[in-house]
Amino acid sequence: MENINNNQVVNLTKEDFVSDQIVKWCPGCGDHAILKAVEDVFPKLGKRKEDIVVVSGIGCSSRFPYYMNTYGFHSIHGRAAAIATGVKLANPNLSVWVVTGDGDCTAIGGNHFIHAVRRNIDMNLLLFNNRIYGLTKGQFSPCTFRGTVTKTSPQGTYEDPFNVGELVIGAGGKFFARGVDVNTQELTQICCEAKNHDGLSVVEILQNCMIFSNGIHSNITAKEVRDDMQVKCVHGKPLIFGKDRNKGIVLRGNRLEVVTIGENGVTEADILVHDEKEKTTGIHMMLAHMAPPEFPVAIGVIRNVDAPTYNQCLDGVIEEETAKSKIHCVDDLLNSGSTWDIE
């Protein structure tokens, strides 16, 4: 449903957002599933197609604007967050979505990314993480695991990767979630929660590249292991997981631990209850950090904290300065201060 001039209501469907462009991703690419999830989200925005903008950088994921029947901006490498910031500040009524990849966002775009997070710009950022540069044919990215053999690391990388969740929370992020490309129903729900958040929402999507990093997330997404290697973060619910729903996360001292319910006196009451609204970052940071083999990966909304947005603060300053200013048009400006008459 969409309000126009606060009166007229228009029904929008998924089909309204499907563009007439041929989708040119490789068969089996996780981007196809993500596209379908976003097509399900956009009708729920309460916005006209003309009031939605998709901004991308450079990479396979960055073809996204062509495939959404909205306004779009296919920008330059690493600059999507900066350009989207300008779009949102110029027209605060727009729903702005940034689509980027792990290389585009955390390498050349890293500075723009962390400052968009820090400023809490009111927009949504979808970060497709396949832990490789796909478009440029298989170089390692800042998110590639140590030891991975790629075109630019034939002996294996000798760098530790960014953890996107830690990066976002460490930069002062107020919303961070993580999803899996092929679980479109869950990803749609995560994106809906992201669009309801006032401020910058970052959704890391674990995405598979069939060509250059095929199976990179299979240790947590494969059918035979996913129940034991993913814990779903649901606000107000205990962090229980496992094929038999008998495992859980507990807080002992200053660290998290995996326990088995029913062993060593552990009951469901001992399991940590997820609180996405907790303002301190400690537990959210630890959840974002969890990784196999010691831990399952946290999936869902990990952090969702209310805070003033950059847009709100800027609008307040503009209103205040406008109210007390003697300059209300260009003529006022040109005739203010010292002026000269030329005869």
Cα separation, 96 vs 87, in Å, equals 8
Task: Give the integer Cα–Cα distance in Å for 74 and 92.
Answer: 20
Q: To which residue do tokens 């989207």 refer?
A: 84
As a whole number of angstroms, the distance between CA 288 and CA 269 comes to 23
- Residue 16, token pair as written in the block: 């309204």
Q: How confident is the model at residue 105 (pLDDT cuts 50, 70, 90)?
A: very high
Q: If you average pLDDT over residues 82-99, what whole number do you get?
A: 96
Number of domains in the chain: 1
Residue with tokens 């869950």: 186
What does pTM read for this prediction? 0.92
d(CA 322, CA 134): 48
User: Is residue 292 included in any domain, yes or no?
Assistant: no
How does 64-82 read in b/e, with b if 16+ C-beta sit within 10 Å? bbbbbbbbbbbbebbbbbb
Query: Residues 106-125: what's their mean pLDDT?
Result: 97
Kindly state the average pLDDT of the residues 41-56: 95
List the strands of the sheet with 240-241, edge to edge.
Answer: 240-241, 247-252, 255-260
User: Token match 């925005």: residue?
Assistant: 45
From residue 128, alpha-carbon distances to 183, 208, 257 in Å are: 14, 9, 28
> Which residues form the domain of 58?
2-216+307-319
Q: Per-residue pLDDT averaged across 232-259, rounded?
A: 97
pLDDT class of 10 with cuts at 50, 70, 90:
low
Mean pLDDT calculated for residue range 154-176: 97
Q: What is the mean pLDDT of residues 321-333?
A: 88
Average pLDDT of span 322-342? 84
Do the domain assignments include residue 278?
no
Mean confidence (pLDDT) of the chain = 94
Asked if the model's pLDDT at residue 6 lies above 60, the reply is: no
Residue 289 lies in a domain: no
CATH code for the domain of 82: 3.40.50.970
Asked if pLDDT for residue 4 goes beyond 90, the answer is no
Give the pLDDT of residue 2: 43
Buried b (16+ CB within 10 A) or exposed e, 45-55: bebebebbbbb
Which one, of 156, 130, 127, lies nearest residue 143 by Cα? Answer: 130
H helices, E strands: number in the chain: 12, 13
What would the mean pLDDT of 297-307 be, rounded to a whole number? Answer: 98
Distance between CA atoms of residues 271 and 250, nearest Å: 5
Distance from chain centroid for Cα 302: 12
CB 218 within 8 A of CB 246: no
Report the percent of the chain where pLDDT is more than 70.
97
318 vs 42, more confident: 42
What are residue 238's phi and psi, to 5 degrees?
Answer: -70, 150
Q: Work out the average pLDDT over 230-246.
A: 98
DSSP-based three-state secondary structure for 321: helix
Rounded Cα–Cα distance for residues 217 and 222 (Å): 8
- Angle between helix axes 80-90 and 310-324 (nearest 10 degrees) is 40
- The pLDDT tens digits of the residues spanning 193-202 come to 999 999 999 9
pLDDT for 334 beyond 90: no
26-46 average pLDDT score: 95
pLDDT at position 142 over 80:
yes
Q: 342: pLDDT confidence band, cut at 50, 70 and 90?
A: confident
Residue matched to tokens 């001292």 = 253
Structure tokens at 300: 């869902």
Q: Please list the residues that pair with 13 across neighbouring strands.
A: none
Of 198, 279, 291, 287, which Cα lies nearest the Cα of 234? 287
Whether 77 maps to a domain, the answer reads yes
For residue 108, pLDDT beyond 90: yes
In a domain, 127, yes or no: yes
Indicate whether 118 belongs to any domain. yes
Residue 253 domain-assigned (yes or no): no
In a domain, 262, yes or no: no
